[in-house]
Amino acid sequence: MPLRWKGDSVQVLMVTSRDTGRWIVPKGWTMKGVAPWAAAAIEALEEAGVKGHIAKDVFGTYRYDKGLGDGSTVPCEVDVYPMIVEQMKSDWKEKSERTRKWFFVDQAADLVDEPELASLLKQLVRKPKKAPVAGAMLKRIA
């Protein structure tokens, strides 16, 4: 979950999904031989073109049903690792397949389809510096 401060509020960088165009946070499958937090950093770079400091601890988890090409779905559980964005690339792997945009976290919570993800985002609205895992990172850069 790529994050930054904008004034006194926190923003999250969202990307559009390739299949439906809905707003999501960058995410992906686990990678053999790669720590989960490191895989999350790779996905953020590939999907959103961002690099930064990523937490090794999970901020939270949400579930959703991923649609497959054959029309079936598979239940997925996503561990969310907060990242403080330090660099945004102008060109990245999935640039032609996705749109990226910064949203204040309350706006982002209203845009996502997954209620559990919306709940995680809402933790960053009122007292972001007190949110688990993400709060400590946000305090350091405030």
What gap in Å lies between CA 25 and CA 69, rounded to an integer?
Answer: 21
| C-beta separation of 119 from 31 below 8 A | no
Which pair of tokens denotes residue 141?
Answer: 């850069």
Nearest CA among 26, 31, 42 for reference residue 112: 26
Which two three-digit tokens encode residue 82? Answer: 């907060």
Per-residue pLDDT of the chain (142 residues; tens, 9 = 90+): 999 999 999 999 999 998 889 999 999 889 999 999 999 999 999 999 999 999 999 999 999 988 888 989 999 999 999 999 999 999 999 999 999 999 999 999 999 999 999 999 999 998 899 999 999 999 999 8
Q: What is the pTM of this model?
A: 0.93
Q: At 19, which amino acid appears?
A: D
